[in-house]
Amino acid sequence: MSHAKAAPASPFFTPEHEQLRDSLRRFIEGEVKPHGDQWEKDGMVPRATLREMGELGFLGIRFPERFGGSAMDTLATVVLAEELGRSTYGGYAVTVLVHTDMAAPHLNNAGSEAQLAKYMPSICSGERIAAVAMTEPDAGSDLQGMRTTAVRDGDHYVLNGSKIYITNGVHADLCFVAAKTGGAGRSAKTISMFIVEKGTPGFRVARALSKHGWLSSDTAELVFEDCRIPAENLLGEENRGFYALARNLQNERIVLGGQALGEASKALEVTVEYVKQRKAFGGVLWDKQAIRHRIAELASKVEAARQLLYYTAWRDARGDQVVKEVSMVKALCGELVNEVMYECLQFHGGFGYMRDTIIERMTRDARVQSIGGGASEVMLEEIAKRL
């Protein structure tokens, strides 16, 4: 495969962004694709692979240089997400992205100097892998509905409750946990964030969950039973956790948009290659105008969504308020990737319906994109409130 340097994907990108893109593609071709099928069977990405990504600088793209990061911007995050999405292994992609862009930013944004010094270098190196625990059995996108509590007891907090659908939850070394500290009720001023280390008494993985897709990603139900953690493990200010969660959800949704578009782009490439070779009715499928035109229409939609993603990431990097635009990215890309996968599998025919084909795996993996990180319905309501 040629690794010739491509032209910038957008005027928003710098040579450094494109260098990152090229490095990621090389790594994924050499170190991910040859092993991804085995990771799907194992239900996890090997720690050695994650540490190698850390050594290459892929896990600290947005974090300070003094901790081993690169201190790059939102557009760099988009590059990472797109290229991981193009790997064709959604479980691998989300394993990395939860660590780099959904969990660790909580520490980067709100951590004390002592907390940053203790944990951030190992997060950037891949020695510690992180998860974030927000979702509960009765509270998904409804953050204010969570029931897990953290009660101050001298120099400790005592956590009680459960979390579910936690990506990286089985094997994570650090978990950033959201819990109620301000009493019952639905006020945004009742939630705090905590750092909980693996092995803390009272903190356990109740079960590893089996999923429809993202098979190489470990997902857990977590339980906290009189789990005592030092008061110094409070992350940020008490009762300000809801705002920290809301802040980072913007980054999370941009990331998921990037991953979805990477997946959609790759699926179209795989499908074009297939229909140009697949012989039927005296020719190849590409000769059928209906197929060519539908693929062209999908490619146009993907390109339009990509430019919205890039523009939104550029504005976010400038510090603009882009809640509406981020919600548009998340809703649009989450739905579009599923539309693309449906058609691409259709054009693969019976072959595409077989397990262990690329397009079958990608179709399963894409389904969650309209659910995770804020369901499309929630995103559309966020947009509507700002129109």
Residue 282 has a pLDDT of 86
- On whether both 221 and 280 belong to a single domain, the answer is no
The answer to whether residue 167 is domain-embedded is yes
Q: What is the CATH number of the domain that holds 301?
A: 1.20.140.10
Q: What is the CATH number of the domain that holds 168?
A: 2.40.110.10
Residue 2 has a pLDDT of 45
The answer to whether residue 2 is domain-embedded is no
Residue 243, number of CB atoms within 10 A of its CB? 15
Distance CA(17)–CA(9), nearest Å, equals 10
Distance CA(97)–CA(285), nearest Å, equals 36
Q: What is the mean pLDDT of residues 276-293?
A: 92
The answer to whether residue 9 is domain-embedded is no
CB 174 within 8 A of CB 197: yes
- On whether both 258 and 375 belong to a single domain, the answer is yes
Residue 168, number of CB atoms within 10 A of its CB? 28
- On whether both 122 and 149 belong to a single domain, the answer is no
pTM higher than 0.95 for the full model? no
- On whether both 124 and 135 belong to a single domain, the answer is no
77-114, pLDDT tens digit by residue?
A: 999 999 999 999 999 999 999 999 999 999 999 999 99
CB 53 within 8 A of CB 93: no
Distance CA(255)–CA(251), nearest Å, equals 6
- Active-site residue identified among 136, 252, 263, 325: 252
Residue 9 has a pLDDT of 60
- On whether both 323 and 369 belong to a single domain, the answer is yes
The answer to whether residue 26 is domain-embedded is yes
- On whether both 107 and 226 belong to a single domain, the answer is no
Q: What percent of the chain has pLDDT over 70?
A: 95
The answer to whether residue 5 is domain-embedded is no
- On whether both 356 and 255 belong to a single domain, the answer is yes
252 a catalytic residue: yes
The residue from 239, 263, 284 where one domain ends is: 239
Question: Which residues, including other chains, have CB under 8 Å from residue 362's CB and lie 6 or more apart?
Answer: 88, 90, 263, 266, 267, 270, 341, 344
CB 57 within 8 A of CB 121: no
Residue type, 157: Y
pLDDT interval class at 185 (50, 70, 90): low
- On whether both 45 and 122 belong to a single domain, the answer is yes
The residue from 128, 148, 171 where one domain ends is: 128
The residue from 181, 213, 239 where one domain ends is: 239
129-170, pLDDT tens digit by residue?
A: 999 999 888 776 666 678 899 999 999 999 999 999 999 999
The answer to whether residue 10 is domain-embedded is no
The answer to whether residue 208 is domain-embedded is yes
- On whether both 118 and 19 belong to a single domain, the answer is yes
What total number of domains does the chain contain? 3
The answer to whether residue 8 is domain-embedded is no
Structural domain of residue 30, as residue ranges?
A: 15-128
Residue 72, number of CB atoms within 10 A of its CB? 20
Q: What is the CATH number of the domain that holds 124?
A: 1.10.540.10
Partners of residue 160 on adjacent β-strands: 149
- On whether both 124 and 165 belong to a single domain, the answer is no
- On whether both 108 and 219 belong to a single domain, the answer is no
- On whether both 25 and 64 belong to a single domain, the answer is yes
